[in-house]
């Protein structure tokens, strides 16, 4: 197919209207790493942002701001990610949520600290009330694996991955939990050059209803429904 044709699909894709076989073909093409199409898609996505920016702005209720600030104050230590532009792909880990094991995790910047994270993870695994879920690598990356530790009481925990392929440009791994046979997004993460990562996990739903956890590769920023290949899966 000529690039004019791919560009045509890229433009429809940018609006979200591309469907059926056209969508599958274009996504497969994007996954080949075509930089021309990726650039063209980005240019069109950016142009489309003019539509919402042209609307007359309406202010949300001041109560929303207050509610949101209260929420982040409560979960402040929960979910810091890597600082944009930093080469480190490690994560700030929850502080306080695991008071029972009195562990404090910090942003790790080098291998030694990664080892510390690993040790901390192992300590957490032996704490009472923790549930462990093993995730196994799927076809794209069969040697990868992950473990999730979750406090049944607090519905918070931590995932550690190893052996995942380094995150490609424009992509990010996304964790899902599956309940009622439907995937629920649970956060995105990148991995370091060794496929290692840790991330905080927080479950918003009834833990008893969770059937599985899975990890897929998705566009940066994450998506509300999985669209990319599955890399890891594990049942409770």
Residue 54 touches another protein, criterion: CB under 8 A: yes
Task: Answer yes or no: are the C-beta atoms of 100 and 89 closer than 8 Å.
Answer: no
The angle that helices 3-15 and 35-48 make with each other, rounded to 10 degrees, is: 40
Nearest distance, CB of residue 47 and another protein, angstroms: 4
Task: Answer yes or no: are the C-beta atoms of 215 and 201 closer than 8 Å.
Answer: no
Task: Answer yes or no: are the C-beta atoms of 105 and 117 closer than 8 Å.
Answer: yes
Q: Which is nearer to another protein, 78 or 127 (CB)?
A: 78
Nearest distance, CB of residue 170 and another protein, angstroms: 7
The binding track of 188-217 with respect to another protein, each residue x by CB under 8 A or -, is x-x---------------------------
By CB atoms closer than 10 A (0-12, 13-18, 19+), residue 22 is middle
Residue 65 touches another protein, criterion: CB under 8 A: yes
Nearest distance, CB of residue 136 and another protein, angstroms: 25
Q: E-assigned strands of 79-155?
A: 130-137, 145-151
Q: Which is nearer to another protein, 179 or 223 (CB)?
A: 223
Residue 102 touches another protein, criterion: CB under 8 A: no
Residue 183 touches another protein, criterion: CB under 8 A: no
**Residue of 28, 32, 50, 206 interacting with another protein (CB under 8 A):** 50
What DSSP state is assigned to residue 54? T
Provide long-range contacts, Cβ within 8 A and 24+ apart, for 132-136: 133/213, 133/234, 133/235, 133/236, 134/234, 135/161, 135/213, 135/214, 135/215, 135/232, 135/233, 135/234, 136/232, 136/233, 136/234
Nearest distance, CB of residue 61 and another protein, angstroms: 6
Nearest distance, CB of residue 66 and another protein, angstroms: 11
Of 4-12, 117-125, 135-143, 149-157, which part binds another protein (CB under 8 A)? 4-12
Between vectors from CA 128 to CA 127 and to CA 130, what angle results, nearest 5°? 80
Residue 61 touches another protein, criterion: CB under 8 A: yes
Binding residues (CB under 8 A) for another protein: these are 8, 11-12, 14-20, 22, 42-61, 64-65, 67-69, 71-73, 75-86, 91-92, 170, 172, 187-188, 190, 220-225
């Amino acid at each position: 197919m000529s690039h004019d044709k791919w560009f045509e699909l890229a433009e429809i894709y940018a609006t979200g209207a591309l469907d059926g076989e056209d969508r599958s073909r274009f996504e497969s093409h994007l996954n080949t790493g075509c930089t021309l199409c990726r650039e063209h898609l980005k240019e069109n996505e950016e142009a489309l942002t003019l539509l919402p920016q042209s609307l007359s702005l309406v202010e949300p209720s001041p109560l929303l701001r207050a509610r949101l600030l209260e929420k982040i104050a409560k979960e402040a230590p929960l979910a810091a990610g890597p600082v944009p532009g930093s080469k480190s792909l490690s994560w700030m880990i929850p502080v306080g949520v695991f008071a029972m094991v009195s562990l404090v995790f910090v942003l790790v910047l080098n291998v030694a600290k990664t080892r510390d994270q690993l040790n901390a993870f192992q300590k957490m695994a032996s704490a009472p009330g923790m549930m462990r879920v093993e995730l196994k690598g799927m076809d794209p990356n069969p040697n990868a694996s992950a473990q999730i530790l979750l406090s049944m009481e607090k519905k918070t925990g931590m995932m550690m991955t190893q052996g995942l392929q380094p995150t490609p440009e424009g992509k990010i791994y996304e964790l899902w939990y599956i309940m009622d046979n439907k995937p629920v997004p649970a956060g995105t993460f990148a991995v370091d050059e060794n496929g290692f990562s840790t991330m905080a996990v927080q479950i918003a739903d009834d833990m008893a209803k969770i059937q599985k956890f899975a990890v897929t590769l998705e566009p940066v920023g994450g998506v509300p429904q999985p669209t990319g290949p599955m890399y890891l899966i594990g049942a409770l």
